[in-house]
Structure 1
Amino acid sequence: MADRVPFSITIGGSLPADRLDELIDIANSAGLSPTWDGGPLTVDHLPVGTPLKLHAHEVANGQIDDIEDFCCHNDLPFVRWSGAAPGSFPAEIVVWVGEGPRRSFTADDDEHVVLTTEEAEKVQSLDDLKEHFETGSYVPPPLEIVNPKSE
């Protein structure tokens, strides 16, 4: 049986309006809500001028691949936090800035990046340390729903 932990994801960028229903369906299928212990995501919950934040309790292994894959496929930067499952895995923050690989960071239960002993041994300079915490603290841009480009 999978360990179940709390989960949150913050999504930003420009989403074509014709993909919005798919985002809402994926979020609701995964049990994500715009508030902790809230109801399903609807168009009325979409933020104005901020990224979209979604939450869930009891997420298997702290991952919802469908929502992350949707974000990557649609060029939507995101930050995902998953709580720890003691004895199985630590709390984690995964950052995708809209390009390149997803980056994973050890986190605490307050959704802050931390530095483990193993990670600290890899730090070679103060710039490396700053980059670790700056990238791990990334905040996506506001989520904007845009009309698809006409060809």
Structure 2
Amino acid sequence: MADRVPVSITIGGHADQSTFAELAALIAMEGLSTEWDGPSFEPGHRTIGEAVSLHAHEVAWGRVEALESFCAEKGLPFVRWSGSYPGEWSAERIVFRGAGTIDSYMVDESDRVMIDRYLVNERGSIAAVLAYFDAAAFVVPPLVVEGDPPPVDAAAVEEACHG
């Protein structure tokens, strides 16, 4: 039996309708929900104009590999947090910015980035250490699906209403 831990993943970027349909099917296959202990994901659970934040408590090895591979292949940025399994692995944050490498960061159970003496020495300066923290703090953009209504500019709406 697989070791199981909680996982959360946030996905964004731009997708056409067929890519979103595939994405939704993979999310459901992984047993993820938009809320902890919520129903399995369905396309209607997505909030237009926001990234999709998904969760599950009992994920084998804390990995959603098929979903992550799909996102990387389609250029959909994501951030995943997985809890630790005592005696086996530490909690981690995985960051994919939509292109390039998929980076792993050691975090605690509250998803706070941790750094050890080895990484401090490897980075070599406070500026480089702070850049490491900044890179780990990547904010996933909204998931925009072809055919979504255009985003509303809140400042323009406010100006129009109170002119």
TM-fit CA distance, 1:2? 2.6
TM-fit CA distance, 1:143? 0.5
**3-state SS of 1:72 partner:** helix
**3-state SS of 1:2 partner:** coil
Residue equivalent to 1:96: 96
TM-fit CA distance, 1:114? 1.3
Q: How far, CA to CA, are the matches of 1:55 and 1:94 in structure 2?
A: 15
Q: Percent identity?
A: 39
**Unaligned runs of at least 5 residues, structure 1:** none
**3-state SS of 2:112 partner:** coil
The 8 Å contact of residues 106 and 116 in structure 1, kept in 2 or not, is answered as no
The 8 Å contact of residues 84 and 90 in structure 1, kept in 2 or not, is answered as yes
Q: Give the structure-1-normalised TM-score.
A: 0.92
**3-state SS of 1:104 partner:** strand
- Alpha-carbon RMSD across the aligned residues, in angstroms, is 1.2
User: Deviations along 1:123-149, whole A, 9 cap, x unmatched?
Assistant: 2012211111111111111000015xx
What code does the residue aligned with 1:106 have?
M
Matched, 1:72 2:72: yes
Q: How far, CA to CA, are the matches of 1:48 and 1:21 in structure 2?
A: 15
Q: How does 1:43-58 map to 2 (within 5 A)?
A: 43-58=43-58
Moved over 4 A (4+): none
Residue equivalent to 1:81: 81
**3-state SS of 1:27 partner:** helix
TM-fit CA distance, 1:104? 0.3
**Unaligned runs of at least 5 residues, structure 2:** 148-163
TM-fit CA distance, 1:48? 2.0
The 8 Å contact of residues 6 and 82 in structure 1, kept in 2 or not, is answered as yes
Q: How far, CA to CA, are the matches of 1:90 and 1:117 in structure 2?
A: 17
**3-state SS of 1:24 partner:** helix
TM-fit CA distance, 1:107? 0.6
Residue equivalent to 2:112: 112
Residue equivalent to 1:135: 135
What code does the residue aligned with 2:59 have?
V
Residue equivalent to 1:62: 62
Q: How far, CA to CA, are the matches of 2:27 and 2:44 in structure 1?
A: 14
Q: What is the aligned length?
A: 147
Q: How far, CA to CA, are the matches of 1:39 and 1:58 in structure 2?
A: 14
Q: Give the structure-2-normalised TM-score.
A: 0.85
Whichever of the two has the greater Rg, that structure is 2
Residue equivalent to 1:18: 18
